[in-house]
Amino acid sequence: MTLWGATSNPGKLREFRLAAHGEVEILALPGLEEIPPAEETGTTFEANAAQKALYYSAYAPGMLFADDSGLEVEALGGAPGVISARFAGPAATDEANNRLLLEKLGAATDRTARFVCVIALAEKGRLLGTFRGAVEGRINDQPRGGHGFGYDPLFFYAPFGCTFGEVEPERKFTVSHRGQALRAMLAWLRAGDRRNCPPAR
């Protein structure tokens, strides 16, 4: 089975493929760069993932998934949340986002945070389901490690004893929000019973 992924982020694609373990073929939607970008106006990960999946599914020959993900920091009331990619501005770099996060957190003692990922699956403009994964950690006081992307160098994951930036993607995907959401979608596809689909949110 082939699933089309509406992402051109190589870090995300790599994690999706690792999590899929060859069970399904995950291909980037061809010509994604030329398609006018989908709107992301939702206030929840579910709403944004669904918006993207529905929009891009019109360009895919089969089932297409899109994800929306981000970091929720307790001491910041859940920010940056759905604006994680553009926390420091519309074209912010990962470094700028990380810097701003550290600035905003200052010397806060509660550094609890979670990565959340919601994957929406759609086919020809019809939403088939949404699937959520989350992983808990805390924000380190400085970036560590050169792996991953986004906030990985700041995300300290206690069971590993280091940040996500310090582990290979192969290890990260075993516990990551993205891996969990993808595995939930695969389990649903495997069950093959659409009546058991988590209601599309």
According to CB under 6 A, which one of 18, 19, 65, 68 is a site residue for ligand IMP?
Answer: 68
The site string for ligand IMP over 135-174 (x = CB under 6 A, - otherwise) reads -------------xxxxx----------------------
Q: How far is the CB of 116 from ligand IMP (least distance, A)?
A: 8
Burial of residue 11, with CB atoms counted within 10 A of its CB: 0-12 exposed, 13-18 middle, 19 or more buried? middle
Q: How far is the CB of 195 from ligand IMP (least distance, A)?
A: 29
Active site residue 68: yes
Of residues 104 through 123, those in contact with ligand IMP by CB under 6 A are 115
56 contacts ligand IMP (rule: CB under 6 A) = no
Between 151 and 156, CB nearer to ligand IMP = 151
Stretch that binds ligand IMP, among 26-34, 62-70, 136-144, 190-198 (CB under 6 A): 62-70
Between 59 and 149, CB nearer to ligand IMP = 149
85 contacts ligand IMP (rule: CB under 6 A) = yes
Locus of tokens 């990619």: 85
Q: Distance between CA 148 and CA 131 in Å, rounded?
A: 22
Upstream peptide bond of 80 is cis (omega within 30 degrees of 0): yes
- Tally of helices (H runs) and strands (E runs) in the chain: 5, 7
Q: Encoding tokens for residue 151?
A: 């906030």
According to CB under 6 A, which one of 3, 71, 88, 128 is a site residue for ligand IMP?
Answer: 71
Q: Distance between CA 183 and CA 187 in Å, rounded?
A: 6
Q: Encoding tokens for residue 184?
A: 């939930």
Contacts of 6 (CB under 8 A, 6+ apart): 29, 32, 38, 52, 53, 56, 60, 64, 65, 66
Between 5 and 129, CB nearer to ligand IMP = 5
Chain residues in the site for ligand IMP (CB under 6 A): 67-71, 84-85, 97, 115, 148-152, 176, 178
Residues marked active site are found at 68
